[in-house]
Amino acid sequence: MINNKLFKVRIKEHLKLFNIFRFNNFDEIEDFSLNSNWTEPTNEEIKFLNHREKADPSSSFKDNLRFYSALGKSGLLQSAILSERYGSYESTSSFVLKNLHGTKKVLDVGCSIGYLTSFYALKIPESSFIGIDFSLESIKTANKMKRQLNLDNVDFACSDMNNIKYPDKYFDYIVDTQSIYYSKNYLKTFNHLKKKLSNHGILITIPGIGEKNQIKLYIDQIQTAGFLVQDFRFIKAINLGETEHLPVITCSLKEPKESIDTDSIITKLFNSI
């Protein structure tokens, strides 16, 4: 059962429950880490704090898994690393909530420790949510927070995004916040997700890509898999004091009301910054 007070919670208050805060630069994160109530960092925590590149999609699957498994069980890493993308969580959650309509079954791909999935579940109690992540430690933390929030409309499972153990055409919405772009094979992932989406379902994918040609390649792989772009835009996010423009692609298996010229939208954005 969902507490009415939690239903009204704002993203800032919700992220605080996960020890995720807004910082203006890396120095503020370092000061927070040194002066907070965390115990002295372990050697493993220090290693991952000093090697953030292991979290980059260009790193190997094993490096990504080690990094996010360490993050999943460390409050210090969760706070220090996840807070770097605070502005992205604000912007993407606002967009997603505006576009989830009615009583639906929603899959959140790459949910990490569940900070956004649980927020959606609080805000839309009539829908059911599934959050998946490849890190078992992250899923353990997500389930712990689910119990703490007393949520009964969300479940978390450790799963590969290319091997989702739910029936075909099961989900009405699939949401991806900067996770699919970690896939080593976009086309394989989009083909698999297409099978899990209902005939009238919607995929919202927000890749953490800032390069023009990479965004074009990403969209090309979406379309090659058989998805049709319904909406494409960039949303602004401020992370560590720096403004970013996040590509947001909304697509489905049905023809759009009007053709979307994705190349023109990309060119217009990059010519303006």
Cα–Cα distance for residue pair 228/219, rounded to 1 Å: 10
Contacts of 44 (CB under 8 A, 6+ apart): 70, 74
Q: What is the radius of gyration, based on Cα positions, of the chain? A: 18
Predicted confidence (pLDDT) per residue in 46-95, tens digit: 787 777 766 677 678 888 888 888 888 888 888 889 999 999 999 999 99
- Is residue 37's pLDDT more than 80? no
Q: What is the mean pLDDT of residues 16-27?
A: 94
CB 131 within 8 A of CB 156: yes
User: 200-226 pLDDT, tens per residue?
Assistant: 999 999 998 889 999 999 999 999 999
Query: Tokens for 234?
Result: 């960039």
Q: Which domains does the chain have, with CATH numbers?
A: 13-84 (no CATH), 87-272 (3.40.50.150)
